[in-house]
Amino acid sequence: MPSSTVENYLKRLFIEQQKQPGQLVQMGHLAEAMKVTAGTATSMIKALADSGLVDYEPRNGVKLNVQGEQLALHVLRRHRLIELFLVQILGLDWAEVHPEAEQLEHAVSEKVLERMDGLLGRPNFDPHGDPIPSADGIIRKQQLATLLNCPRGQLMKIARIVDQDTDFLQFLDRHALRPGATLTLVHLDTLADAVTLQLGGERTLVLGTRAASKILVEPA
Amino acid sequence: MPSSTVENYLKRLFIEQQKQPGQLVQMGHLAEAMKVTAGTATSMIKALADSGLVDYEPRNGVKLNVQGEQLALHVLRRHRLIELFLVQILGLDWAEVHPEAEQLEHAVSEKVLERMDGLLGRPNFDPHGDPIPSADGIIRKQQLATLLNCPRGQLMKIARIVDQDTDFLQFLDRHALRPGATLTLVHLDTLADAVTLQLGGERTLVLGTRAASKILVEPA
DNA sequence: GCTATAATTTTGATAGGTCAAAATAAAAAA
DNA sequence: TTTTTTATTTTGACCTATCAAAATTATAGC
Ligand SMILES: [Mn+2]
Ligand SMILES: [Mn+2]
Ligand SMILES: [Mn+2]
Ligand SMILES: [Mn+2]
């Protein structure tokens, strides 16, 4: 049985790998993401390599192998199902479920997870629009535009938010920018580094490109 | 924040203390209950004493102090509320929720617990009939008879089962012996070390005194 | 009161995770 | 091609939790 530390590393590796497909994850990058020192990351990765969960190229980087990826997807499934459960069944705020799920994902058994899944009606997406891997470890990868590269002047629907920071999510929530909400990209000003959005009614909102790139949309 | 190991020791101390009120819990007894060696228990208890959670008399035994007891009650509350949640909301079997709760009790936040409590309607008892401590750490102590010392020939209601072993609980369940069920103590045979029970209908059941003493009842 | 026995505590080790600081290797700059 | 900078790995330590085995009490028996 993998420890929760191991589960966290695997999950993190999967997520970082997806951001730069094909490439190895650098030690420094991993250490930063896990909030540990580089030396700690190195020794952990060596242990994971010994357990046959990752391919490690010293001084080069690391990637999940097939077995590690399956495990990571399993943890990710638990995390995301739990998030949805907390929102749908217990009525927690979607902006604050991430840290809760971060703990619970290591404590929930297969049996309990299966019940949650059933109760939720075998959902495909979590409250942030992140896809939920299937029980057999398959994840649908979506091809979504960001608010920076989506068509201008066209009504779009928010599909996913790729940031788990509670304060950021609460900010979005205050402007009703949640998965499912619709909006239009009015203007992208590269010099000002900002986008102008048309929300419901007359409301207009200006976001910096950093923030805008975290909002993934699809045609409404 | 106490580690889950610390939480488990405190909970165990509380439960063992209740079995022999007033007395100190012996190291050997604690070690046995925690399934660790005596040396491990000793060093853990010394650590708990240093953290100001228990009163430790070397060579004599240990007991929770006020602070430790509050913490223990808090863990017990989490454990029991979770058990009820698993049965009522997720539909798990009451015979198998204990080990699940044993993990979840360390991962559930106050916020999540509060939602569970609300959803369950502020319950007072868990699926085994164990009382659930209140949020401010008060536990009602019940004065219940066992199937060994309850009045004979009188209809009794099962109030509580004081054993968490899944196989034993499933055995009870097969005979419909669950909290809330009614039955009559027909005969207690001290020589045969057994009791004869009258269940619903014509059904009769003979239990050894060891098993019978784990079934707590009250007048129906 | 002395001895055998049982319970408890100590000691020395190990495993998992972590950090700070030193050593090393690779990449970039000069 | 050297030198400097940056990233990675190693080393030495520490903390929590655990065990096995040795040392130390207490307790009971005689
Ligand atoms: Mn986690
Ligand atoms: Mn999510
Ligand atoms: Mn526990
Ligand atoms: Mn219970």
Please state the domain extents for chain B: 4-64, 145-219
Query: Which ranges of A53-157 does DSSP label H, i.e. alpha helix?
Result: 66-88, 97-104, 110-119
| Nucleotide nearest A37 (Cα, C1') | C19
Q: What separation in Å is there between the alpha carbon of B122 and the centre of ligand 2?
A: 29
pLDDT digits (tens, 9 = 90+) for A161-190: 999 999 999 999 999 999 999 999 999 999
CATH fold of the domain at B4-64: Arc Repressor Mutant, subunit A (1.10.10)
Can you give the distance from the CA of residue B59 to the C1' of nucleotide D29 in angstroms? Answer: 21
Q: Reduced to 3 states, what is the DSSP secondary structure of residue A92?
A: coil
Which residues of chain B have a CB within 8 Å of the CB of A100?
109, 111-112
> In this predicted structure, what is the pLDDT of residue B136?
96
Take residue A16 and report the two structure tokens written for it: 């970082």
Chain D nucleotides near the protein (CB, 7 A)? 7-12, 16-22, 25-26
Exposed, middle or buried by CB within 10 Å (0-12, 13-18, 19+), for A19?
A: exposed
Q: Do domains A4-64 and A145-219 have the same CATH topology?
A: no
User: In this model, does residue A201 exceed pLDDT 90?
Assistant: no
**Is the separation of the CB atoms in A195 and A211 below 8 Å?**
no
> In this predicted structure, what is the pLDDT of residue A169?
98
Q: Give buried/exposed letters for B112-151 (b at 16+ CB in 10 A, else e).
A: bbebbbeeeeebebbbbbbbbbeeeeebeeeebbbbeebe
Chain B CA closest to residue A114: B90
User: In this model, does residue A200 exceed pLDDT 90?
Assistant: no
As a whole number of angstroms, the distance between CA B52 and CA B43 comes to: 14
**Residue A19: in which H helix or E strand, if any?**
helix A4-19
Put simply, whether the predicted model's pTM sits higher than 0.75 gets the answer: yes
> In this predicted structure, what is the pLDDT of residue B200?
84
Assigned architecture for domain A145-219: Roll (2.30)
pLDDT digits (tens, 9 = 90+) for A61-105: 999 999 999 999 999 999 999 999 999 999 999 999 999 999 999
Which residues of chain B have a CB within 8 Å of the CB of A112?
86, 90, 92, 100, 104
